[in-house]
Amino acid sequence: MSQTRVVRIRESILAENTVHATALRERLTASSVAMVNIMASPGGGKTSLILRTIQELRSEFRIAVVEADIDSTVDADKMTAVGIEAVQIETGGFCHVDATMVQAALAELRLDDLDLILLENVGNLICTAQHDTGAHVNVALLSLPEGDDKPLKYPIMFAAADIVIINKTDYAEIAEFDIDAVRHRIAQLNPRAEVLPVSCRTGDGIGAWIERLMSRVENARSAAIPNPGRSMPGRQPGPRDAR
């Protein structure tokens, strides 16, 4: 009697994506461009964090943004409005972006003219974390109004993140959000994750986020350079160099 054969579609799709993502990351590294993938629920504050980041880093890094939504160019238009090149991925219903979609978006950009790409993933706490986009740094953002139980309910997101941003700390008095419990849970899931509370509204904590981000961006970009002691091609000296 012949045995029932099983084809595991999900595993094979994810494995194929990982191959594309690895190749994409290597291409970015070779071009000395760092890519940062920002993931969160709808409305968590991804666009607000990107706009704050651009404001802080645009004098030092040549930045472009890749926006991903199931429809519309609302967020990409916000980037264009502040003079930043943006490409919109319309996923047409998919609740995440994968490496092939990012690859298609990057074909619209000149990597030689860039140091940093900020990718705003689709608003979703589940599927986004399951697909490697080719980014060097994965950021999960959780905002106070969403509740402090999210790391318990959506562990994959927090396990996949290099940095966890806790946004909207200006709601602390009314949100009943136990930040210590969240830190504890994330430490259990992913001890290497850095947890950074911020408010994109007031600017609280943004300095620490920029410092940690810069360190990771520099690491990603300098991986392309045989002698890391050299200054990186393309990077313009900025105000931080004078400090």
Ligand X SMILES: Nc1nc2c(ncn2[C@@H]2O[C@H](COP(=O)(O)OP(=O)(O)OP(=O)(O)O)[C@@H](O)[C@H]2O)c(=O)[nH]1
Query: Residue 174 corresponds to which amino acid?
Result: I
Sign of CA dihedral 153, 128, 77, 89: negative
Which is it for strands 85-90 and 116-120: parallel, antiparallel or unpaired?
A: unpaired
Please give the angle made by the CA atoms of 149, 150 and 153, to the nearest 5 degrees.
95
List the one residue from 23, 30, 42, 108 that touches ligand X (CB under 6 A): 42
47 binds ligand X (CB under 6 A): yes
Q: How far apart are CA 176 and CA 144, in angstroms?
A: 8
Within 84-123, the residues that bind ligand X by CB under 6 A are 123
DSSP assignment, residue 52? H
Cβ-based nearer residue to Mg ion, 117 or 189: 117
| Amino acid residing at 188 | Q
Minimum distance from residue 123 beta carbon to Mg ion (Å): 7
Q: Is 47 in the site for Mg ion (CB under 5 A)?
A: yes
Amino acid at position 142, single letter: L
Looking at the Cβ atoms of 77 and 211, the one nearer to Mg ion is 77
Site for ligand X in 187-226 (CB under 6 A): 199-201
Number of residues that bind ligand X (CB under 6 A): 17
Q: Which of 25, 36, 37, 44 binds ligand X (CB under 6 A)?
A: 44
Please give the Cα distance from 32 to 130 (Å, whole number): 26
* Contact pattern for ligand X over residues 117 through 136, marking x by CB under 6 A: ------x-------------
Closest to ligand X by CB, 144 vs 160, is: 144
Residues 19 and 15: their CA atoms lie apart, in Å, by: 7
User: Residue 114 has which token pair?
Assistant: 């860039």
Residue 21 as a binder of ligand X (CB under 6 A): the answer is no
Contact 38, 46 (CB under 8 A): yes
Cβ proximity to Mg ion: between 32 and 45 the closer is 45
Decide whether 27 or 212 has the Cβ nearer to ligand X.
Answer: 212
DSSP state of 117: E
Which residue sits closest to ligand X, CB atoms considered? 123
- Contacting residue, 46, 96, 168, 221, with Mg ion by CB under 5 A: 46
**CB of 25 closer than 8 Å to CB of 102:** no
Chain positions contacting ligand X, by CB under 6 A: 40, 42-48, 75, 123, 167-168, 170-171, 199-201
Chain positions contacting Mg ion, by CB under 5 A: 46-47, 75
